[in-house]
Amino acid sequence: MRSEFVMISKIIILTIILIVFCLSSYTLAERVFFSEGFNNLDNWEPLYFKEIDKHTRYSIIKEGEQSYVRAESDSSASGMVYKHEFNIYDYPNLKWRWKVTNIYESGNAETKEGDDYPVRMYVMFKYDPDKASFGRRLKYGLAKKMYGTYPPHSTLNYIWANREHEEIILTNSYAKEARMVILQTGIENTGRWIDQEVNILEDYRRAFGKEPPQIASIAIMNDSDNTGESSVSFIDFIEVYK
């Protein structure tokens, strides 16, 4: 009788453990849209820019069980875009870890000539022609004819700037639809891994004064085409979550 009681107790405990494990796994899957550890670049595709022929080089570095992406720029510019879009209202939070070896001496987030960064994290918001004004439909239609696809409706650029600025959110010198959000500046933290965590919804509202489009995607970039300088930067992981 005692042995039967022990067996039933074990079965009950095992069942509870399995239920808790399944619920935890389900909760984690629901909470995180994606978590990129950069074992490879299978989930990413290149982002090139018209009239910029020299591209930044992206590669995977592995050190034991650790892996991360390396971005090397030399008077060049190109990015990497995550292949899957997400609903910004379902998954408004973004965190990552990055490192730079140096900054651009002539970099300046307030000028076209200085609009280069050793590392930046893009959040690109999808353009929807059905919700656009006539003027914007015309403008974006012309852009699609030139590039083969619509440009983003708007973007947030989280940047490592080379200098301090009076404001931490700036309008991009090339495109008023892009806002530059300064997270790191100068050389103080170069050579060190830095963890960043942001709420995209809150930052968009602060930057644009309105609600963002629903669908967004993530991109990373190291660019130096304006300054003509060079740098190497690294990103360890990226996570988009509730």
Do 117 and 11 reside in the same domain of the chain?
Answer: no
Q: What is the pLDDT of residues 142-183, one digit of tens each?
A: 877 777 777 889 999 999 999 999 999 999 999 999 999 999
Do 19 and 52 reside in the same domain of the chain?
Answer: no
Judged against a pLDDT cut of 60, whether residue 5 lies above it is answered with no
Mean pLDDT score, 21-48: 78
- The better pLDDT of the pair 139, 232 is held by 232
Mean pLDDT score, 208-212: 96
Query: What percent of the chain is modeled with pLDDT above 90?
Result: 73
Q: What is the pLDDT of residues 120-141, one digit of tens each?
A: 999 999 988 877 788 888 878 8
Classify the C-alpha dihedral 27-30-36-39 as positive or negative: positive
Do 16 and 136 reside in the same domain of the chain?
Answer: no
Q: Which domain holds residue 11?
A: 1-33
Do 45 and 2 reside in the same domain of the chain?
Answer: no
Q: What is the per-residue pLDDT for 144?
A: 77
What's the length of the chain?
242
Do 43 and 27 reside in the same domain of the chain?
Answer: no
Do 28 and 101 reside in the same domain of the chain?
Answer: no
Nearest to 194 by CA among 62, 70, 95: 95
The CATH number for 115's domain is: 2.60.120
Mean pLDDT score, 22-32: 57
Distances from the Cα of 132 to the Cα of 98, 126, 136, 157, 216, angstroms = 35, 11, 6, 22, 16
Do 60 and 154 reside in the same domain of the chain?
Answer: yes
Beta-bridged to residue 180, according to DSSP, are: 157, 170
In the chain, the number of structural domains is 2
